[in-house]
Amino acid sequence: MKNLLAVGFGGMAGSLLRAVIYEGVSSFTGLWIVNLLGSLLLGFVAGRFHAKSAPFRLFVSTGLLGSFTTFSTFTAEWFRLMERSFTGGLLLALGMTAFSVGTAAIGLKFGRKAVAG
């Protein structure tokens, strides 16, 4: 039950944070901000807090950052771009994926470094 509550409360917080960002910028810019920042933070959390309790890790990773980032909005934006330009859609898909994985790797490196001191 603790794990489910951790994911639920984290999800609520993450979706609200995403909404705050989307209020301040265009949806396309917001998409990049939340996915890249979320990937960076998820990598950091994975490296830094791997020894924490399961509820803590689930709150932060699956709940907070899982709902902060948005694969569904990325997919909707990809569909919209594909209707206008195959190349634009392809560039979005490749760019978002590459940059998200790259920022997650950077976050993981810094998270591990924070543990090492």
Annotated binding site: 66, 69
Annotated binding site for Na(+): 66, 69
Q: How far lies 95's CA from each of 36, 39, 43, 92, 99, in Å?
A: 11, 14, 18, 5, 6
Cβ-based burial of 41 (10 A; exposed 0-12, middle 13-18, buried ≥19): buried
